[in-house]
Structure 1
């Protein structure tokens, strides 16, 4: 019995000393290690970019006066999934930015509209620029990034932009006005349920049903007022995608089309398809046209009233100034 106790004590003694020895080795190793650096690992990996003349111009033209950052360098992390977009040509960046400065910022801040301080606190925080088209999975070119917040504006087709080309300017401004309209809709909420109830059952879940109708259309054909949409109670193809896009499209379409063109779209809406000798089908077409016209007129009036009450501007007057500025811009370029 005594022998067993002695053996147990001996094992305990050995184990205790081994633990002390291991601990001393660990402490010795720690003393030899270099002290921790105060510099962040993130900072060590960062590459400082020198400010270019373009960066300075952006700072003075957009960031300092309006609080808008512009990111024209490639950042795949903020591109929507499945898009074909790629970096923009640096040579075209300033041309695109000068265009939106003239036809968007100068529009809202003109003395006869909102004044120089109108956009303060209302602007998106950042603008992202890309070289190519913004195509979705159905092959339809979109006006915006559906994954973005309304504090961001995404500019596409930078590489093909030409300020002397009316079609290119038109598409750019359709996109900018659409995205800024969505931003205003968040800053100054509208009665979504009331607006949604006007064309409730007509909105599509995806672009698939209309991608074929748009087909190989380019520029103004793809983004302008469309007979296909008019006859269903909408101004454009993109209006069909959701109530939010429909609302924003009414603003964007009016700011890039003349009053005469808008009137033509309304006439198109109330013009029924011709059913030929089928009188029963003709009655259906007549009712569809009546309903399409009613919805389009009602939605346009809704948005105009919203703009007047919430934004404190006349959308119709803004339209006249916008069209005038676009024509003058194209002419001088």
Structure 2
């Protein structure tokens, strides 16, 4: 016992001596750089600071951090060269429209405080892929950054729709959406939404397959799709659904519109227009590709006497026809082109005698080629109902206008270079330009 004790005392003495020696030595190491993960800021960091961190207090993490992502999935790090193009697009297509309609401070007040970027998608066991997630209203993870192309409309829409969807969840966490929304499609929700097709979803009153996953996903899909599709494309999609499904989709649309107004004082349709205007800077809508039911516009309306920017040739023909109608005891009012089916168009005039309104119809075929040039041909056998009989009656007075449509080919395009205004929306102005003389045209308001 005595030896053991002495050994312990000796050991204690050595340790104390060593400790006292270490205190006297100068440590040749810089502890400030150990385990602090300090990285010199690059041009990308500075750009993100100036465009996100400083104005909105939003951090963007693009350096790969496994703790920010699903550990159970193989995810590719983002290419640093893709970061600014991606986040420029997020700023221009998501943030700026909300600022314009919701106010300069809207995103500053309600926004995720962090974006995390991943190079690839996250692949799920059920065969689906994750393109974005939101966590607790604080963080949005954006995937597939490495294949993002800011000049490609489909690529931009895919990325921004993810944000619009996740941001709707954040808004719903700030102010809950209407509780009775979920009753509109009660019984239509399903856990494995991949088992259903888009056609089945639309037939049940869901805008997408994923909308069937849960009521909150249905709400976010409605909001994001309405914003990214735009009003014309959304209405066209709804019009292809069965009647009862159309009622459900329109009811859901109204819920979303009312929610944005009552909760945040945002005019949803104005926001929708601003988002579309931002998308049009990437790729402008082509009028010729938006003609027909289930596609886009179904009507084009004009009152040429009031639409003073009609071309000189068309105005001259219309004024002559109007004078002829007056001589026949009628007052010519307006003209409507109705695109009622693929390749089919009805030309309609309205005219009056006293308080009585009359209509005259004629059916045409319309063929639009890849260059957007339309060829009209009067259908040989017309229906025999009253309005078609009226066209036969007024044809001598309207012959100049009728021949204008029958005897020319037309380039379909917007008229915003002549009459400034938005393109691609309800109420936008479209025109039929003579293919042989673009100074000769007929224009009207595009509708559905």
Give the alignment's TM-score, normalised by structure 2: 0.57
How many Å separate the matches in 1 of 2:252 and 2:93? 25
More helix by share: 1
Deviations 1:153-205 (A, max 9, x none): 222221111122111111111111111111111122223x4222332332222
- Of the two structures, which has the highest relative contact order with CA contacts closer than 8 Å and spacing of 6 or more? 1
Matches within 5 A, 1:199-218: 199-210=185-196, 213=197
The equivalent of 1:194 in structure 2 is: 180
Q: 2:37 aligns with which of 31, 40, 47?
A: 47
The equivalent of 1:73 in structure 2 is: 63
Matches within 5 A, 1:38-187: 44-110=34-100, 113-145=101-133, 148-187=135-174
Say whether 1:309 aligns with 2:266.
Answer: no
How many Å separate the matches in 2 of 1:41 and 1:138? 48
SS where residue 109 of structure 1 aligns? helix
Distance 1:90 1:19, change over 3 A: closer
How many Å separate the matches in 2 of 1:40 and 1:299? 62
Contact 2:205 2:249 in 1 (8 A): yes
For residue 140 of structure 1, report the CA deviation from its aligned partner.
Answer: 1.1
Distance 1:19 1:164, change over 3 A: closer
Deviations 1:63-87 (A, max 9, x none): 1111111111111111124444311
For residue 136 of structure 1, report the CA deviation from its aligned partner.
Answer: 1.9
Q: How many aligned residue pairs are there?
A: 283
How many Å separate the matches in 2 of 1:308 and 1:183? 16
Contact 1:62 1:69 in 2 (8 A): yes
SS where residue 47 of structure 1 aligns? coil
For residue 27 of structure 1, report the CA deviation from its aligned partner.
Answer: 5.1
Contact 2:190 2:212 in 1 (8 A): yes
Q: Over alpha carbons, which structure has the higher Rg?
A: 2
The equivalent of 1:321 in structure 2 is: 274
How many Å separate the matches in 2 of 1:244 and 1:188? 13
Contact 1:234 1:246 in 2 (8 A): yes
How many Å separate the matches in 2 of 1:71 and 1:16? 59
Deviating beyond 4 angstroms after TM superposition, the runs of 4 or more aligned structure 1 residues are 13-35, 39-43
Contact 2:130 2:143 in 1 (8 A): no
How many Å separate the matches in 1 of 2:5 and 2:75? 66
Deviations 1:115-161 (A, max 9, x none): 32222221210111111123322121234226x33211222221111
For residue 229 of structure 1, report the CA deviation from its aligned partner.
Answer: 1.9
Distance 1:42 1:79, change over 3 A: farther
More strand by share: 2
Q: 1:256 aligns with which of 225, 228, 232?
A: 228
